[in-house]
Amino acid sequence: MNAELSCDSSNMAGQEDPVQREIHQDWANREYIEVITSSIKKIADFLNSFDMSCRSRLATLNEKLTALERRIEYIEARVTKGETLT
C-alpha cells in the first residue's frame, strides 16, 4: 500500500506515466488540429465571400462598359452619317 501511495505522489509531483503523457499529447494534437481546421474554414469563408463580391462588382462594371460601348457606337454612327450631336 505504501508503494502505491509513493507512486501516486510521484505522479502528482510532475512525473507522468507514459500513458498519461500520450493522452495529454493526443489532446494537445487534437486542439492544434481544431485550431488549424477552424482557421482553414475561416479562410475558405472569406475567399468565398470575396469571390462573390468580386463577381458582383465585375458584373456591374460589365453592364456599365456595355452601355458605354453602345453609346460610343451610336455616336460614331451619327458622326459617320454627318449628323450633328445636338
Question: What are 14-59's pLDDT values in tens digits?
Answer: 567 999 999 999 999 999 999 999 999 999 999 999 999 999 999 9
Within-domain flag for 59: yes
Strands, E, within the chain: which ranges?
none
Structural domain for 77, as ranges: 26-85
Q: What is the CA radius of gyration of the chain?
A: 35
Within-domain flag for 55: yes
- How many domains does the structure of the chain reveal? 1
Residue 66 has pLDDT above 50, yes or no: yes
Q: How far apart are the C-alpha atoms of 48 and 51, rounded to whole Å? A: 5
Under DSSP, the state recorded for 83 is -
| Residue with the three cell numbers 451619327 | 78
pTM: 0.59
Confidence band of 82 (pLDDT split at 50, 70, 90): confident
Distances (CA, A) of 37 to 12, 47, 85: 33, 15, 62
Within-domain flag for 17: no
Residue 4 has pLDDT above 50, yes or no: no
